[in-house]
A and B are shown apart, each in its own frame.
Chain A
């Protein structure tokens, strides 16, 4: 079993829809939770960074962490065609050896105009 599970999709939604992306994990020691966005043939870029449980909002993006359920989510409101990309969840913690960052497989998102 992988440490971080993420549905690879693809997920296709119409413009303006609310998008929900999710990851589950097995390592209870993860403390830092991230979402990266990756456009085609580009390197990933950090989108959201949260510590421990709770919610964090940044514009149209909201990240949620539920450590009791080992479940994290990214919500995108009013989705735009420019949001079409692969979204990777990522996690790290004190016991991942040098705070190594572990990534999910990534979910491909298509937002149709």
Chain B
């Protein structure tokens, strides 16, 4: 199916474990983004990518790592999960410098 898909949709893990959230888009959009959504904070940008092999930090990058070896994939890794990283994570893509952001369904992560 065309669009942007995230996996897993739900994940429970323990403090200190490594977790990778996957994001795949079928449009060949240049730009991809990772946001986290927490009550009272709205959507906060973690990392973004303007093209394959080009990534940059957003507002809250600490504790996260990203890579983009292929245009269509943009995985987000929590190297050592902490309770403060319990959140809903959204991946998004955009065709160009401006324009609409297309979001995935979200990945709900709980860190115990």
- List chain A positions with a Cβ less than 8 A from chain B: 6, 8, 32, 34, 36, 41-46, 49, 88, 90, 92, 97-106
Contact = CB atoms under 8 A, between A and B. Distances in A.
B103 A100 contact: no
Nearest to A104: B42
Interface of B: 31, 33, 35, 40-45, 48, 50, 56, 58, 90, 92, 97-101, 103-106
Q: Determine chain B's interface SS by DSSP, over half rule.
A: strand
Given A88-B43, A98-B97, A104-B42, A43 B105 contact: yes
Contacts of A6: 42
The 5 closest A-B pairs by CB, nearest first: A43-B103, A105-B42, A103-B43, A46-B100, A103-B42
B53 to A, nearest CB: 15
Nearest to A102: B45
19 contacts: A32-B98, A41-B106, A42-B106, A43-B90, A44-B90, A49-B99, A88-B42, A88-B43, A97-B56, A98-B97, A99-B98, A100-B58, A101-B33, A101-B45, A101-B101, A102-B45, A103-B43, A105-B40, A105-B42
A88 B35 CA distance: 14
